[in-house]
Structure 1
């Protein structure tokens, strides 16, 4: 028995920042010389990102009049974890509510009192009582809603949330599960000049996505059945992608070796997933791949003999939003779903996401549109 994704909603903060603006901010914040600025801007140009969204207007400030970072040339005293978490607590709720509202709007006159479970996902902030309780109150969901939080798992965490939601639906045919992934990556800017940090600063943005799942397909909707999941760990990459809490925010390690590790592991991951359903890669035309970065998408294409057209939705989201951690793959899936018609019924969708571990997550979906 399959459970079904019935609707996906997305939301971004109000501040849309062009890559060129962000590069200027970073060059000033890091106090780079002319040659270093040239290299930094070259890095930003090859990301495949046109603009990203952030809860912090500082990234677009041209006169140094910041609202979060100190108005000093070197941004000192640099914001602490406590200050960053205060921003998270203030900004995560309205962004999450906007994503859920977008999700429910697809369903018309949807009765929120029928929600039985809420799963919140984030690796960029936490507090207690948390975002889950705030959402219950802000959305006027039943106070009996069962709540689960999935924290600090990185870009693949949406897959774990969908697995948990699927388990709820398998156990209870009346379950209606709301999954909300909210990430404020830009509040964790770090002033390091190492390449890992330069790349992280160049690709991550803020966004939220919400998904409604239930045990039966929703009538007259583009439903997607959860057909199978498969996960692999590549221990050799444990130190190549990491996320640590430090005194001045969360610090990302994103090594240049990650695309190579993914390229080596993705074929085995795909074969093991598809073997469960006796499907070949050649039978899959639809892909919803987490755009962890342009090189990661290119590595997957090389390993699975895909074309950029197969990955067009991932490139679109990367261009328009950057990498929003756990929410990103749901943005990709939503973009893909817009293109489906009734003729797409029963077509498989292959989806991947990656994160610390090095973790490779995969999911096979099937279009259910009748």
Structure 2
């Protein structure tokens, strides 16, 4: 039994801003000196990000004109309650947009086929929650099985994919709808703390939806072959996510790329050895675009040609780090690039988060039009006949 990712949909808020425009907003927010302002603009240029999206229409305007992040002392910043009110208002329509983009890719697909719903988010929560709102908005049966993956950070999509994979392997008739939505920008911190400055510089808002099925698909699909997770406990304090009085606070140390550099070869070796693959046999590398240095460190350490991980650099440039949906934006681009390619290919994917958690998986590209023997199967399966 195997599971198949048959469609990935994405969505972003209507408000998009150039990276340097956001830098102006951030420098005004804390009244930076000219020297501090120049350092900030140097940081923003170095991120490799050109553009980010926010549910906040004034995220890239002058700080004194902001309706949400009002000027003044820290006490004037929005409370957690105010931020959660905004999350509840904006998370559902963004999720629905991603779901519609996903389902539009599946011809003759009926929502009645959905047996399971998995929601993923670390930037907001409420109950009755987003899962129930999606059920009602889509008109799904009230009996649909619901699972929520909350507060796990940037690698959370991997956790949800593992659950989806297990469901589909246990029931070939299962159809899982997985939705990741993050409104990172509502947690802006008005602070000169370097961790906050760095977080403010890279995160954006977005949503992604995925359909995972237990039945063999037509067209291009991605089939997980193996997952592997590891921890770098020494990085526990360098990547963290906590709820404070004035929003959720991200700790993202500049040491994170160095720690990933020290662990990525071992992580890759442990995963690929279980499948008897080597790095040269991987066609695409879907790396969570957590930051430019992270992407470059992995590319250099594994000696990957940039063309094999270009989608990760492109997603970072166009959207920034959207936390959990980001890796799905990358996988969607790879699936799009494979539409006219019917050869057998494999994808190695990574994501990182609090802990310091290092997630990885190998995906096999399954397409119509060729026959191959699946690992562990004795019979020849003609994918083109499905």
CA distance 1:286–1:177, change in 2 (3 Å): same
In 2, distance between residues paired with 1:305 and 1:343?
25
Q: Deviations over 1:89-127 (max 9, x none)?
A: 000000000000000000023100110000000000000
Deviation of 1:301 (Å): 1.1
CA distance 1:295–1:347, change in 2 (3 Å): same
Residue 113 in structure 1 maps to residue 112 in structure 2: yes
Q: Is the 8 A contact 1:21 1:59 kept in 2?
A: no
Residue ranges of structure 1 left out of the alignment (5+ in a row): none
Match of 1:322 in 2: 320
- 3-state DSSP of counterpart to 1:192: coil
- 3-state DSSP of counterpart to 1:161: helix
TM-score, normalized by length of structure 1? 0.97
Q: Which among 253, 277, 280 is matched to residue 279 of structure 1?
A: 277
Q: Deviations over 1:62-104 (max 9, x none)?
A: 373322122x355751100000000000000000000000000
Match of 1:9 in 2: 9
Residue 258 in structure 1 maps to residue 251 in structure 2: no
Deviation of 1:182 (Å): 0.3
Deviation of 1:346 (Å): 2.5
Query: RMSD over aligned Cα, in angstroms?
Result: 1.2
In 1, distance between residues paired with 2:256 and 2:201?
16
Match of 2:166 in 1: 167
In 2, distance between residues paired with 1:109 and 1:310?
33
- 3-state DSSP of counterpart to 2:76: coil
Q: Deviations over 1:108-167 (max 9, x none)?
A: 231001100000000000000000000000011111100000000000000000000011
Match of 1:51 in 2: 51
Q: Deviations over 1:37-83 (max 9, x none)?
A: 0000110001000010000012122373322122x355751100000
Please identify, of 360-369 and 307-316, the stretch whose mean Cα deviation from structure 2 is larger. 307-316
CA distance 1:309–1:117, change in 2 (3 Å): same
Q: Is the 8 A contact 1:241 1:357 kept in 2?
A: yes
In 1, distance between residues paired with 2:149 and 2:121?
7
Residue ranges of structure 2 left out of the alignment (5+ in a row): 369-386
In 1, distance between residues paired with 2:199 and 2:82?
20
Q: Is the 8 A contact 1:29 1:75 kept in 2?
A: no
Q: How does 1:18-97 map to 2 (within 5 A)?
A: 18-62=18-62, 64-70=64-70, 72=71, 77-97=76-96
- 3-state DSSP of counterpart to 1:282: helix
TM-score, normalized by length of structure 2? 0.93
Please identify, of 30-39 and 334-343, the stretch whose mean Cα deviation from structure 2 is larger. 334-343
In 1, distance between residues paired with 2:33 and 2:193?
15
Q: Which among 297, 300, 314 is matched to residue 298 of structure 2?
A: 300
Q: Which among 333, 349, 353 is matched to residue 351 of structure 1?
A: 349
Q: Deviations over 1:309-338 (max 9, x none)?
A: 222000000000000000000000001111
Aligned length: 368
Match of 2:246 in 1: 248
